[in-house]
């Protein structure tokens, strides 16, 4: 099978290696032709230092590599998915399966990544979301990892499962693409919030409280938008939330730590030096929650800190002194 991965960041590179390990003819495309040439020569991605890329992996800046591809993986940052999808569209065929592995919600439109790809490609082919608790730094060195391949078309989800699954990369299928993509995007806001807690000096109790109650918020919004509750308790939901909130591999977590330590939001993101998806998702989550009439106090407070300069200490006090609730009653989720 011919596979093309669009996006030479850490995640796109790691998935390229998985596909090579599975015997697929694989090409990794970079929008930066000079970077592609350098990686082709060095057989290494600077973002994943010390790992030699397979000799069978072709790396290029030429989109003609898409011609005849059976599987196309869009691994661009969420803000670039629309542009990448438009560039890829002329090369796609009805039998191509397009896989979205980007985690985010588009600013202003509030569209999920698969919706953007369907829109810009004219819905010419099936779009599948692949998501789960998966750091590129661990997948590239073949650490056991699990993800979910989600699509309403079960055959397409199984096609992606078969393409990626091996003895270190386990893939489950789901028809709940809405829940899988929302969980992937929303957890970044919580990871950023967890990092802020760490930066403030809060410890395990606080982070466990934050993660658990935030998952209640995420699930509530996800169900309102058409997702299935069980998805949010699975790999794409709780699994991804745990790994993103607790690891320094997470850019969202690292940015949050810097903010908690007192750095300005923009300064923190610049210091991390890569896309902090949680920052952009926070605004979209706030917009969605208001549009849908879903109360999300943790996500709202994160938005106010990130976009309106609200003091974190005031946010903590506000959240901890809210009205009493019963955890197990539906009304407690408000």
Q: In sequence order, what DSSP letters do the residues of 247-316 get, joined into one string?
A: -TT-HHHHHHHHHHTT--HHHHHHHHTS--HHHHHHHHHHHHHHHHT---HHHHHHHHHHHH---HHHHH
Residues 169 and 217 in one domain: no
Nearest CA-CA partner of 91 in 70, 114, 107, 61:
70
Domain check: are 151 and 275 in the same one? no
Same domain, 155 and 193: no
Q: Which residues on adjacent β-strands are paired with residue 138?
A: none
CB 233 within 8 Å of CB 183: no
Distance of CA 308 to the CA centre of its chain: 25
Name the domain count of the chain.
2
The CATH number of the domain where 59 resides is what?
Answer: 3.40.50.720
Q: What is the pLDDT of residue 333?
A: 45
Task: For residues 284 and 210, state if they share a domain.
Answer: yes
- In a shared domain, residues 244 and 98: no
> Where is 29: in which H helix or E strand?
strand 25-29
- Residue found under tokens 């196309």: 72
Catalytic choice (2, 35, 86, 187): 187
Q: How far apart, in whole angstroms, are the C-alpha atoms of residue 314 and residue 318?
A: 6
Of 132, 159, 175, the position where a domain reaches its end is 175
CA 170 to centroid of chain Cα atoms = 18
List all residues 6 or more positions away from 181 whose beta carbon is below 8 Å from its beta carbon: 100, 103, 112, 113, 114, 129, 131, 150
Can you tell me the distance from the alpha carbon of 217 to that of 10, in angstroms, rounded to the nearest whole number? 30
Q: Are residues 164 and 247 in the same domain?
A: no
Q: Measuring CA to CA, which residue among 295, 284, 267, 277 is closest to residue 199?
A: 267
Q: Tell me what pLDDT residue 107 has.
A: 86
Please enumerate in sequence order all residues whose Cβ is within 8 A of that of 209, keeping only pairs 6 or more positions apart, or say none: none
Q: Are 151 and 208 in contact (CB under 8 A)?
A: no
> Is residue 57 within 8 Å of residue 18, measured between CB atoms?
no
pLDDT at position 72? 98
Same domain, 93 and 195: no
Which of 142, 175, 208 corresponds to the end of one domain?
A: 175
130 and 197 in a common domain:
no
Tokens of 252: 């969202």
Question: Which range marks the domain in which residue 48 is found?
Answer: 2-175
Q: What is the pLDDT of residue 40?
A: 95
Query: What pTM value is reported for the model?
Result: 0.92
The pLDDT of residue 329 is 67
- CA-angle at 208, arms to 141 and 306, nearest 5°: 85
Q: Which residues contact 178 (CB under 8 A, 6 or more apart)?
A: 112, 222, 225, 226, 227
Active site residue 126: no
**DSSP line for 132-159:** SS--HHHHTTT--EEEEEE-SSHHHHHH
Q: Are residues 167 and 206 in the same domain?
A: no
Task: For residues 147 and 202, state if they share a domain.
Answer: no
Q: What is the pLDDT along the chain (334 residues), one digit of tens a residue?
A: 999 999 999 999 999 999 999 999 999 999 999 999 999 999 999 999 999 999 999 999 999 999 999 999 999 999 999 999 999 999 999 999 999 999 999 988 999 999 999 999 999 999 999 999 999 999 999 999 999 999 999 999 999 999 999 999 999 999 999 999 999 999 999 999 999 999 999 999 999 999 999 999 999 999 999 999 999 999 999 999 999 998 888 899 999 999 999 999 999 999 988 788 899 999 999 999 999 999 999 999 999 999 999 998 899 999 999 999 888 765 444 4
User: DSSP readout, 78-113?
Assistant: GGGHHHHHHHHGGG--TT-EEEE----B-TTT--BH
pLDDT at 331: 44
Please check whether residues 16 and 119 belong to one and the same domain.
yes
Q: How far is CA 146 from CA 89, 113, 116, 204, in A?
A: 29, 20, 25, 25
Quick one: 110 and 257 in the same domain?
Answer: no
Domain boundary residue among 154, 175, 196? 175
């Amino acid at each position: 099978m011919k596979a093309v991965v669009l996006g030479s960041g850490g995640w796109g590179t790691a998935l390229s290696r998985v596909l090579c390990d599975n015997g697929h003819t694989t090409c990794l495309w970079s929008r930066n032709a000079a970077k592609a040439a350098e990686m082709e020569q060095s057989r290494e991605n600077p973002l994943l230092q010390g790992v030699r890329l397979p000799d069978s992996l072709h790396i290029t800046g030429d989109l003609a590599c898409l011609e005849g591809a059976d599987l196309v993986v869009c691994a661009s940052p969420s803000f670039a998915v629309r542009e990448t999808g438009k560039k890829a569209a002329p090369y796609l065929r009805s039998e191509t399966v397009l896989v979205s592995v980007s985690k985010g919600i588009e600013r202003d439109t509030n569209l999920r990544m698969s919706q953007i790809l369907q829109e810009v490609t004219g819905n010419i082919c099936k779009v599948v979301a692949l998501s789960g608790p998966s750091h590129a730094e661990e997948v590239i060195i073949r650490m056991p990892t699990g993800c979910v391949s989600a699509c309403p078309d079960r055959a397409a989800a199984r096609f992606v499962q078969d393409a990626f699954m091996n003895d270190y990369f386990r893939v489950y299928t789901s028809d709940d693409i809405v829940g899988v993509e929302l969980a992937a995007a929303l957890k970044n806001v919580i990871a950023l919030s967890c990092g802020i807690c760490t930066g403030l000096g809060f410890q395990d109790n606080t982070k466990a409280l934050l993660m658990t109650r935030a998952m209640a918020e995420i699930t509530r919004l996800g169900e309102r938008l058409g997702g299935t509750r069980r998805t949010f308790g699975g790999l794409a939901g709780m699994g991804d939330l745990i790994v993103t909130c607790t690891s320094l591999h997470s850019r969202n977590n690292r940015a949050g730590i810097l903010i908690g330590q007192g750095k300005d939001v923009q300064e923190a993101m610049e210091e991390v030096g890569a896309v902090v998806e949680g920052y952009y998702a926070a605004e979209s989550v706030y917009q969605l929650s208001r549009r849908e009439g879903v109360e999300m106090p943790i996500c709202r407070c994160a938005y106010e800190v990130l976009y309106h300069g609200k003091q974190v200490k005031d946010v903590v006090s506000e959240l901890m002194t809210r009205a009493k609730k019963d955890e197990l009653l539906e009304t407690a989720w408000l």
